[in-house]
């Protein structure tokens, strides 16, 4: 991702790597990887956008405003509610195989799913 490293450094600002990693709730070593040019994972991009209220489009491409507008934030909250409703409806009717597939897929794409799940209770 050309320029991603630069945009991540802009978000880091004057903070130390340790401070910035604490804000993002990731290990310092992981942040070092991305600041040194490693291509970011989808879960890392989602984490940065969520923790810093950063626009996904700006973080990935450098286009558009850096921060999400109030309306975009509301839309994301609405999507979370819709996803939770979808999941609660489908979970009751899915067989064991479908539940295992969904569980595997979500955990693979979004490693922070466990953290999210724990905080939803």
Q: Give the residue with greater pLDDT, 111 vs 50.
A: 50
Residue 68's φ and ψ, nearest 5 degrees, are -70, 150
Could you tell me which of 108, 54, 120 has the C-alpha nearest to residue 83?
120
**Residue ranges of domains in the chain, CATH in brackets:** 4-61 (1.10.260.40), 70-120 (no CATH)
Number of residues assigned to the chain: 121
Residues 17, 31 contacting (CB under 8 angstroms): yes
Structure tokens belonging to residue 2: 């050309």
pLDDT tens per residue, range 50-77: 899 888 889 998 888 888 776 655 666 7
Cβ atoms of residues 66 and 57 within 8 Å? no
pLDDT band of residue 113 (cuts 50, 70, 90) is: low
Q: How far is CA 84 from the centre of its chain?
A: 17
């Amino acid at each position: 991702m050309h320029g991603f490293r630069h945009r991540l450094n802009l978000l880091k600002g004057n903070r130390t790597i340790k401070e910035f990693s604490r804000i993002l709730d990731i290990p310092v070593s992981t942040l070092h990887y991305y600041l040194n040019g490693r291509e970011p994972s989808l879960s890392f991009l989602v984490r940065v956008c969520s923790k810093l209220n950063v626009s996904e489009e700006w973080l990935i491409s450098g286009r558009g405003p850096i921060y999400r507008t109030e309306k975009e934030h509301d839309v994301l909250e609405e999507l979370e509610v819709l996803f939770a409703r979808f999941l609660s409806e489908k979970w009751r009717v899915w067989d064991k195989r479908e539940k295992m597939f969904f569980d595997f897929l979500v955990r693979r794409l979004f490693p922070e799913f466990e953290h999210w799940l724990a905080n939803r209770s």
